[in-house]
Amino acid sequence: MADAANAVSDPSITAVGSAFQGGRRREEKKKPTRKRRPPVASLTDVTIRRKGEEAIIDFRDANIATTHFRVGPSLRRLSDQQVLDRFNKILEAERRAAARRHTAIEIPVGHPQLRYYAVAEQWVPRGGVVRCVVDDSGPDGELVVHVDDQALSLAEFGRLLCTYAGWGMRIAFVPEDSLGLAPRIVVCEPEDS
């Protein structure tokens, strides 16, 4: 019995055992690599597909992320060059904004944090900080995100987050009654219980 207990606690045996399943070597899953942010491009660098009111911009360089660019109803009247010009204009504005030291704007408590952007048919943040409460009150216990008086499904909240596609995000969980206060943040390894 002591030998069996020692064999189980031997890390080399555990590692070998976990690499094999059913007598066959298990293939290690490769982590997907994060593609690069789209750069300002020319029509020779991309192909543009259309799906409803969305332009899908595929870069010929496979290491650059495909972008789903929500244009709205005007998409059907625009040429590929006009779509790309609009997209490039946004990229240039983002580049200029990133060159400055970033200050996240937080809308004061009691003022609307979101606005409805009718052209894209979605909610967008008015600032760079969104205070919200999450719960599982959706159909079949699905996640609902409450921002002010607006209840957003996970899909709707995801579209809101896409407003900042390519940016980083920090999430700080706080008690609901402390949403208006910036939490004290301590960088450390938590004690596992």
Whether 95 and 130 map to the same domain: the answer is no
Across the chain, mean pLDDT equals 83
CB distance 56 to 69 below 8 Å = yes
Beta bridge partners of 106: 129
Whether 118 and 173 map to the same domain: the answer is yes
3-state secondary structure 42-95: CHHHEEEEEECCEEEEEECCCCECCEEEECCHHHHHCCHHHHHHHHHHHHHHHH
Residues 114-162 pLDDT 10s: 999 988 889 999 999 999 999 999 899 999 999 999 999 999 999 999 8
Decide if 185 is inside a domain.
Answer: no
Contacts of 94 (CB under 8 A, 6+ apart): 166
Whether 162 and 122 map to the same domain: the answer is yes
Helix (H) / strand (E) element for 100: namely none
Residues 25-57 pLDDT 10s: 555 566 667 888 899 999 999 999 999 999 999
Helix (H) / strand (E) element for 135: namely strand 133-135
3: exposed, middle or buried (Cβ count in 10 Å: 0-12, 13-18, 19+)? exposed
CA–CA–CA angle 49, 81, 92 (5° rounding): 100
Range(s) of the domain holding residue 69: 43-99
Residues 85-124 pLDDT 10s: 999 999 998 888 777 777 889 999 999 999 999 888 899 9
Whether 93 and 119 map to the same domain: the answer is no
Per the model's pLDDT, the better-predicted residue between 148 and 13 turns out to be 148
* 75 closest CA partner among 87, 88, 64, 66: 87
Q: How far apart are CA 154 and CA 48, in angstroms?
A: 28
Whether 75 and 119 map to the same domain: the answer is no
Decide if 160 is inside a domain.
Answer: yes
Q: How far is CA 63 from CA 69, 128, 181, in A?
A: 18, 28, 40
31: exposed, middle or buried (Cβ count in 10 Å: 0-12, 13-18, 19+)? exposed
Whether 122 and 83 map to the same domain: the answer is no
Whether 93 and 120 map to the same domain: the answer is no
Whether 95 and 118 map to the same domain: the answer is no
Contacts of 163 (CB under 8 A, 6+ apart): 124, 125
